[in-house]
Amino acid sequence: MATTAMGHAGTHAHAQKTGLWSWITTVDHKRIGILYGVTAFLFFLLGGLEALLLRWQLGAPDRTFLSPEVYNQLFTMHGTTMIFLGVMPLSAMFFNYFIPLQIGARDVAFPRLNAFSYWVFLFGGLLLNSSFLINAAPNAGWFGYANLTSTQYSPGLNVDFWIIGLQILGIASLAAAVNFFTTVVNLRAPGMKLMRMPMFVWMSFITQVLLLLAFPVITVALVLLMFDRQFGSHFFVPSGGGDPVLWQHLFWIFGHPEVYILILPAFGIVSEVLPVFSRKPLFGYAAMVFSGAFIAFLGFGVWSHHMFSTGMGPIADTVFSLATMLIAIPTGVKIFNWIGTVWGGSLQMKTPMYFALGFIAMFIIGGLSGVMHASPPADLQQTDSYFIVAHFHYVLFGGSIFALTAGAYYWFPKMSGRMLDETLGKIHFWLMFIGFNLTFAPMHILGLNGMPRRVYTYSAESGFTFWNQVETAGSLILGFSFLIFAWNLVRSLRRGPVAPADPWNGATLEWSIPSPPQEWNFAEEPRVDSRDAFWEMKRVRGGTMPEPPHVSGQGIHLPNPSYWPVVTALGILMFFVGLLLHVHVPTVLAGGALTLFSILSWAFEPTGH
């Protein structure tokens, strides 16, 4: 059956477009983007459900709704899921769908590698979550500090699931980063100079550089930890001369750039939405590009601000403190430029704009609390308290999630060919905005008043009860707002008004082609003469563009579908499951062999033309 499908696709590239098999073998960046989006949204809802369980447990002092063990598993999986299976792949959805469209390309540089990234991500996410089935979900935190993760203190499979899961997800991220980096460098339409690229492409491009430089570090750290656990080495085991602090350095050299991996795509999305709905170009384009690059660069020099309480000494504290404060300057530039973009505009208050403005308002708060714990002595009181939990939720939820939601409302018409419901969108916004602030604002108060993170309960005499109750109530509102979003998505997909090619008077090339775009994106390669290329085209024409025609696509060469990416991903999964099962040699060898065989088959796959 497989060969039939392959042979078929080889001769009629544009024929097969429906059915499960077409999704499994697709190499179309838009379909892969949708796969990323749907999968990541489901994982995101799972991570949210975990958060609601945690919040319910903390809704009253000494509550026994969750056992300490389950609580520890849930907070570990909540963090891991939201970062690696939620926000990162939601960003990847937009990278996939919109980098090629915004630079005027027909696909990414390596379409099959793109499919491979998705399948590896999916399998990694499923493996990580399968640990719940045997009650062995990771339970040492998303940061997995040594030596709690040693076999002596974590004898079960929990930590192994975490190591193997992250390792698999790292492969997906690295492969995708290579792909998008090459795409931006090589596949830009004629005239799309670097300094004419849409800001979303710029921020995504910088994100790929961060991924390429940061992920090898966590890969190495995880390999060392796996060796400690599986082969009895002592990289992080003090009794054997190892050093748990080494783990912290390795983890945060990855972990801090990871924060920017989560936020830079959000910066990009907001920088697209604000100009379109202000009907005015982005303020200070060059400053936006360079501040993004500067943030990314500095992001590699501040990791130890996660470690002020380890006692690094006054010199190291000073250096990392100053470097961290320095990041506030380019970040401030970004915020001021966004406000500058809105200033003097003609604001069209559509749902994407609500979320983009909500992003700025919330991100300012996260940024300011960030400066507070850039100060090491103050951080000695704040670190590992709920003040930090408040801070990074204002950055990653108030920041990333608000921006990703803005992107979802902005680009849904392009991706689906349907408009989302504006009323439901605004209800979603207000419930999310109110729920978010009720959940996370009181955490500032609790943290400063001494509530530590990662505690499964607290006593009434601590005084923590009242605000925890407020937070739990807020989290329910927050969770409910996403049900409305999901309902809006499902309902609009079936019954939403049909979206025109350019519903928002967009500035960038994706709005010049039909909604949803045809498989080859651009029937003719676009030519770019300036920034905001599509605005310029409309200006030159003296008004709006006519609805772009659907063309037959005759004579357009597209890459063939292939099942080798998914088979290769299966080989990798098998290899790592073998490692997980205390190095089960036959599984490891079989997985390795399958991986090698499918890579070879992939390499020698006929192109069909």
Partner 1 sequence: MAFRNSVLRRLRRWAPALCLSLAMLWLAGCAQIDYPQSTLHPKGDFAHLVDALFRTTLRWATVVFFLVEGALVYALFRFRGKPTDAEPEQTHGNAMLEVVWTVIPAVILVLIAIPTIKTIFKTASVPDDDPMVVEVIGHQWWWEFKYPEYNLVTANELHVPVGRTVDLKMTTGDVLHSFWTPQLAGKRDVFPGRENRLWFKAELAGDYPGQCAEFCGLQHGRMAFRVVAEEPAAFDAWRTGLAALAAAPSAPDTARADTSKAAAPAEDPLVAQGRQLFNTKGCLGCHALSAVGAPTMTGPNLAGIGDRTHIAAGWLPNTDENLARWLRDPQAVKVGVLMPKLGLNEDEIKALVAYLRSHRAVAATPSVAAVQ
Which candidate, 447, 456, 277, 434, places its Cα nearest to that of 361?
Answer: 434
Rounded to a whole number of angstroms, the minimum distance from the CB of residue 516 to partner 1 is 24
- Asked if residue 162 lies in contact with residue 144, where contact means CB atoms within 8 angstroms, the answer is yes
Which candidate, 323, 321, 442, places its Cα nearest to that of 389?
Answer: 442
Q: Using CB under 8 A, pick the residue from 52, 60, 178, 448 that binds partner 1.
A: 448
Q: Is 460 in the site for partner 1 (CB under 8 A)?
A: no
Q: Is 340 in the site for partner 1 (CB under 8 A)?
A: yes
Minimum CB distance to partner 1 smaller for 71 or for 397: 71
Rounded to a whole number of angstroms, the minimum distance from the CB of residue 565 to partner 1 is 38
Query: Of 91-99, 202-210, 316-324, 411-419, which part binds partner 1 (CB under 8 A)?
Result: 316-324
Rounded to a whole number of angstroms, the minimum distance from the CB of residue 492 to partner 1 is 21
Q: Using CB under 8 A, pick the residue from 356, 441, 478, 501 that binds partner 1.
A: 441
Rounded to a whole number of angstroms, the minimum distance from the CB of residue 242 to partner 1 is 10
Q: Which residue has the tokens 């916004």?
A: 429
Query: Of 16-24, 140-148, 259-267, 509-517, which part binds partner 1 (CB under 8 A)?
Result: 140-148
Q: How far apart are CA 260 and CA 254, in angstroms?
A: 10
Rounded to a whole number of angstroms, the minimum distance from the CB of residue 235 to partner 1 is 14
CA torsion sign, 207 to 210 to 216 to 217?
negative
Q: Using CB under 8 A, pick the residue from 49, 364, 484, 581 that binds partner 1.
A: 364
- Asked if residue 203 lies in contact with residue 271, where contact means CB atoms within 8 angstroms, the answer is yes
Q: Tokens standing for 372?
A: 């507070």
Minimum CB distance to partner 1 smaller for 181 or for 308: 308
Query: Of 115-123, 188-196, 319-327, 585-593, which part binds partner 1 (CB under 8 A)?
Result: 319-327
Query: Of 166-174, 363-371, 545-553, 566-574, which part binds partner 1 (CB under 8 A)?
Result: 363-371
Q: Is 430 in the site for partner 1 (CB under 8 A)?
A: yes
CA 396-426-487 angle, 5° bins: 85
Rounded to a whole number of angstroms, the minimum distance from the CB of residue 227 to partner 1 is 19
Q: Is 464 in the site for partner 1 (CB under 8 A)?
A: yes
- Asked if residue 176 lies in contact with residue 92, where contact means CB atoms within 8 angstroms, the answer is yes
Site string for partner 1, 55-74 (x = CB under 8 A): ------------xxx-xx--
Q: Which of residues 175-194 bind partner 1 (CB under 8 A)?
A: none
Q: Which of residues 225-284 bind partner 1 (CB under 8 A)?
A: 238-239, 244-245, 278-281, 283-284
Minimum CB distance to partner 1 smaller for 219 or for 457: 457
- Asked if residue 261 lies in contact with residue 210, where contact means CB atoms within 8 angstroms, the answer is yes
Rounded to a whole number of angstroms, the minimum distance from the CB of residue 172 to partner 1 is 27
Q: How far apart are CA 424 and CA 439, in angstroms?
A: 22
106, containing H or E segment? none
Q: How many CA atoms lie within 13 A of 439 on its CB side?
A: 28
Cis preceding-peptide flag for 147 (omega within 30 of 0): yes
Helices within 383-464 (DSSP H only): 386-395, 402-416, 422-448
Q: Is 325 in the site for partner 1 (CB under 8 A)?
A: yes
Phi then psi for residue 124, to 5 deg, are: -60, -45
Q: How far apart are CA 264 and CA 200, in angstroms?
A: 9
Reduced to 3 states (helix: H, G, I; strand: E, B; else coil), residue 389 is helix
Rounded to a whole number of angstroms, the minimum distance from the CB of residue 318 to partner 1 is 5
Q: Using CB under 8 A, pick the residue from 342, 390, 489, 594 that binds partner 1.
A: 342
Q: How far apart are CA 145 and CA 353, in angstroms?
A: 40
Q: Is 545 in the site for partner 1 (CB under 8 A)?
A: no
Q: Is 293 in the site for partner 1 (CB under 8 A)?
A: no
Q: Using CB under 8 A, pick the residue from 26, 129, 179, 321 that binds partner 1.
A: 321
Q: Is 136 in the site for partner 1 (CB under 8 A)?
A: no
DSSP track, 485-534:
HHHHHHHHHHHSPBP-S-TT--SSGGGGS-SSPPTTS-SS-----SSSHH
Query: Of 112-120, 142-150, 491-499, 559-567, which part binds partner 1 (CB under 8 A)?
Result: 142-150
Q: Using CB under 8 A, pick the residue from 189, 455, 570, 581 that binds partner 1.
A: 455
Rounded to a whole number of angstroms, the minimum distance from the CB of residue 536 to partner 1 is 11
Label each residue of 454-498 as H, E or C: CCCCCCHHHCCHHHHHHHHHHHHHHHHHHHHHHHHHHHHHHHCCE
Q: How far apart are CA 184 and CA 193, in angstroms?
A: 10
Q: Is 195 in the site for partner 1 (CB under 8 A)?
A: no
Rounded to a whole number of angstroms, the minimum distance from the CB of residue 280 to partner 1 is 5
Q: Which of residues 28-57 bind partner 1 (CB under 8 A)?
A: none
Q: Is 544 in the site for partner 1 (CB under 8 A)?
A: no
Q: How many other CB atoms are there within 10 angstroms of residue 392's CB atom?
A: 18
Reduced to 3 states (helix: H, G, I; strand: E, B; else coil), residue 408 is helix
CA 144-149-154 angle, 5° bins: 130
Rounded to a whole number of angstroms, the minimum distance from the CB of residue 454 to partner 1 is 4
Q: Is 454 in the site for partner 1 (CB under 8 A)?
A: yes
Q: Using CB under 8 A, pick the residue from 371, 424, 570, 581 that binds partner 1.
A: 371
Rounded to a whole number of angstroms, the minimum distance from the CB of residue 386 to partner 1 is 11
Minimum CB distance to partner 1 smaller for 308 or for 412: 308
Q: Using CB under 8 A, pick the residue from 3, 4, 133, 461 that binds partner 1.
A: 461
Instruction: Give the chain's end-to-end CA distance (angstroms, integer).
Output: 21
Q: Is 530 in the site for partner 1 (CB under 8 A)?
A: no
Q: Tokens standing for 46?
A: 């799972």
Q: Which of residues 100-129 bind partner 1 (CB under 8 A)?
A: none
